[in-house]
């Protein structure tokens, strides 16, 4: 144990506050559109692991980024996806889980040719 604690059995009393089982059947998934920092950070969603990746794109990714002027120009066939540091081509018909999205996974995507408002990454 690395924490220095007053009680020797401190470890026994730890509450892991964000275990997957606390999210009522969902897991936390983080999503981030690269080079578009108008969205100040990655955004978080509680999602069922069985959600198809295609549904994730349609129901989660698109509506939450639609406000950006670059959004209409996205060529979705060219999007580069990364799941937890690994560049991947997700299988749209398969679930988040089958595509390797775990509890608290980070899904980042790049839209080639689009680099934010006037190329400022905003």
Partner 1 sequence: MTAKKLGLKQRYAHMTRGLDWETSYQPIDKVFPYDQFEGIKIKDWSAWEDPFRLTMDAYWKFQAEKERKLYAVLDAFAQNNGQTGISDGRYMNVVKLFLTGVSPLEYQAHRGFAYAGRHLRGVGPRVAAQMQSLDELRHVQTQIHTISHYNKFFDGIGEFQHMHDRVWYLSVPKSFFDDARSAGPFEYMIAIGFAFEYVLTNLLFVPFMSGAAYNGDMSTVTFGFSAQSDESRHMTLGIEVIKFLLEQHPDNLPIVQKWVDKWFWRGHRVLGLVAMMMDYMLPKPVMSWKEAWEIYFTEAGGALFQDLARYGLRPPKYADIATAEAEHISHQNWAIFYQYTHAAAFHTWLPDAKHMDWLSEKYPNTFDKYYRPRFEMWGQMAKEGKRFYNMALPQLCQTCQIPMGYTEPGDPTTICFRRTQFRGETYHFCSDGCKDIFDNEPEKYVQAWLPVHQIFQGNCGGATIPDVLAYYRMNVGADNMDYVGSPDEKLWNEWQADKIKTAV
Q: Does 39 bind partner 1 (CB under 8 A)?
A: yes
Strands 86-88 and 27-33: unpaired
Q: In angstroms, give the least distance from the CB of 42 to partner 1.
A: 4
Single out the segment in contact with partner 1 by CB under 8 A; choices: 2-10, 49-57, 73-81, 90-98.
2-10
Q: In angstroms, give the least distance from the CB of 7 to partner 1.
A: 9
Q: What angle (nearest 5°) sits at the alpha carbon of residue 102, between those of residues 29 and 36? A: 35
Looking at the DSSP assignment, which residues form a beta bridge with residue 33? 109
- Taking the alpha carbons at both ends of the chain, their separation in whole angstroms is 43
Residue pair 73/105 in contact (Cβ under 8 Å)? The answer is no
For partner 1, give the closer residue by CB, 10 or 93: 10
For partner 1, give the closer residue by CB, 31 or 96: 31
Q: Does 106 bind partner 1 (CB under 8 A)?
A: yes
CA-nearest of 92, 122, 90, 94 to 107 is 90
Task: Catalog residues that contact partner 1 under the rule CB under 8 A.
Answer: 1-6, 10-11, 14-19, 22-24, 26, 28, 30-32, 34-35, 37-46, 64, 67, 69, 102-106, 108, 116-118, 120-122
């Amino acid at each position: 144990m690395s924490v220095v604690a007053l009680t020797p059995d401190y470890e026994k009393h730890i509450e892991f506050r964000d275990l997957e089982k606390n999210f009522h059947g969902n897991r936390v998934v983080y999503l981030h559109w690269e080079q578009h920092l108008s969205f100040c950070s990655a955004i978080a969603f509680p999602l069922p692991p069985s959600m198809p990746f295609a549904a994730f794109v349609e129901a989660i990714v698109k509506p939450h980024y639609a406000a950006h002027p670059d959004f209409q120009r996205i060529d979705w066939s060219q999007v580069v996806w990364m799941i937890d540091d690994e560049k991947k081509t997700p299988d749209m018909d398969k679930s988040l889980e089958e595509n390797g999205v775990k509890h608290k996974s980070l899904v980042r995507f790049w839209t080639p040719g689009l680099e934010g408002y006037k190329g400022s990454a905003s």
